[in-house]
């Protein structure tokens, strides 16, 4: 019995000194008694393991516990992402960049998120979803605050007439031209409707029934555009009765005048300005002769019959409503 007790005591004393991994730390004090690379004597490494058996992992390299070390060279996993601020767990590579003047994502620049790729971060961009909207962008007439100035479609009223091109000013270099201005007899499109001097008084027109007899000589194209601007068309003679009616009044008011007939689209094929084909005519003998690029038709004040003339020749005109 006494011998058995002695053997038990010796066996107990021998266990206190066991060091199976030979790392110099007895097993009972070693958190990894079978791994000599882990013991209280080992320096902590950045490898995701509690190397020094203190109950903490990588505490030397990731002080704020955000999973990113401050020194990549010490990490055996070769992770290239380094924590630029190891005292704040909200700052690390890949963190969401905030508008706080801090480099939250460790990119090297604070407040640098640029979702639309226009070169301006979201903290300074009034619309970081549109690459054409950012501070310093050119302001366009599109109802957007392109330059992030707080204003829309500004500044665009160069001539000071109260309207910009965004508001319908077709000529921002002339204060007498803008949408909404009264039309003047000045050879300008004052009201920006696409027509010049469409007021009948500009052309010394006399209205008789459905016809305006205009005594100012102009080219055929100007006559066509003017009638269009006044809400009508350059007169179309549908039959002899209408022809005699128009010519009869014109003889008391006008000299030679344009009518709405031409072969501008196809030489020799005359059509009216409303797109209808010629079904009646009252040409002079020998007309149309097609000479001198005579593609437009007027009524000759000598014979009071139709003749083809160069479209650039000046003549009075009749509009039909």
pLDDT at 71 (0 to 100): 62
User: Which pLDDT band, with edges at 50, 70 and 90, does 45 fall under?
Assistant: confident
pLDDT digits (tens, 9 = 90+) for 6-42: 444 444 444 577 878 777 888 788 788 888 888 888 8
Residue-level pLDDT at 288:
92
Q: Are 63 and 50 in contact (CB under 8 A)?
A: no
- Choose between 151 and 207: higher pLDDT: 207
User: Tokens at residue 42, please?
Assistant: 């080992």
Q: What is the pLDDT of residue 5?
A: 47
Q: In angstroms, what is the C-alpha Rg of the chain?
A: 47
pLDDT of residue 76: 47
Calculate the average pLDDT of the chain: 84
pLDDT reading at 238 higher than 80: yes
pLDDT, one tens digit per residue, over 107-150 is 777 766 777 888 888 788 888 888 989 998 888 777 788 888 88
- pLDDT tens digits, 60-85: 667 676 767 766 555 544 444 677 78
3-state SS, residue 217? strand
Residue where the block lists tokens 């009252």: 282
Q: What is the mean pLDDT of residues 223-242?
A: 96
pLDDT of residue 61: 66
- Mean pLDDT for the stretch of residues 206-221: 97
Check residue 300 and give its pLDDT.
Answer: 97
pLDDT at 81: 66
- The residue written with tokens 């009216």 in the block is 272
Average pLDDT of the segment spanning 214-229: 96
Q: Which segments of 75-210 are extended strands (E)?
A: 205-208
Q: Could you tell me the pLDDT band of residue 237, with boundaries at 50, 70 and 90?
A: very high
157: pLDDT strictly greater than 80: no
Percent of the chain with pLDDT over 90: 38
Integer CA distances (angstroms), 155 to 108, 140, 171, in order: 37, 10, 15
Maximum pairwise Cα distance, the chain: 159
**Per-residue pLDDT at 75:** 57
pLDDT reported for residue 88 = 84
Helices (H), 174-320: 220-229, 240-250
Reported pTM? 0.52
- β-pair partners for 318: 213
Pairing assessment for the beta strands 257-262 and 315-320 based on DSSP bridges? parallel
Could you give all domains of the chain from N- to C-terminal order, each with its CATH number?
114-156 (no CATH), 202-320 (3.10.100.10)
């Amino acid at each position: 019995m006494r011998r058995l007790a002695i053997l038990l005591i010796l066996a107990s004393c021998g266990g206190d000194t066991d060091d199976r991994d030979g790392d110099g730390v007895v097993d009972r004090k070693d958190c990894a008694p079978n791994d000599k690379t882990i013991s209280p004597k080992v320096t902590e490494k950045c490898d995701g393991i509690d190397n020094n058996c203190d109950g903490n992992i990588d505490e030397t390299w990731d002080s704020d516990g955000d999973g990113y070390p401050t020194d990549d060279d010490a990490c055996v996993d070769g992770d290239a992402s380094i924590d630029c601020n190891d005292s704040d767990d909200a700052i690390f590579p890949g963190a969401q960049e905030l508008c706080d003047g801090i480099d939250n994502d460790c990119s090297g620049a604070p407040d640098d998120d640029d979702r639309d790729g226009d070169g301006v971060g979201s903290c300074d961009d009034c619309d970081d979803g549109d690459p054409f909207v950012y501070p310093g962008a050119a302001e366009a007439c599109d109802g957007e605050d392109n330059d992030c100035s707080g204003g829309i479609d500004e500044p665009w009223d160069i001539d000071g007439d109260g309207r910009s091109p965004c508001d319908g000013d077709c000529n921002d270099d002339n204060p007498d031209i803008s949408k909404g201005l009264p039309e003047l007899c000045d050879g300008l499109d004052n009201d920006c409707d696409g027509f010049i001097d469409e007021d009948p008084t500009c052309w010394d027109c006399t209205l008789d029934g459905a016809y305006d007899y205009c005594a100012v000589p102009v080219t055929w194209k100007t006559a066509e555009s003017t009638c269009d601007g006044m809400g009508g068309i350059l007169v179309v003679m549908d039959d002899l009765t209408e022809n005699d009616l128009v010519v009869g009044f014109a003889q008391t008011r006008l000299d030679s005048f344009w009518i709405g007939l031409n072969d501008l689209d196809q030489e020799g094929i005359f059509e009216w300005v409303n797109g209808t084909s010629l079904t009646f005519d009252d040409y002079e003998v020998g007309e149309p002769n097609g000479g001198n690029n005579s593609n437009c038709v007027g009524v000759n004040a000598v014979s009071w019959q139709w003749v083809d003339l160069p479209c650039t020749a000046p003549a009075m005109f009749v509009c039909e409503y």
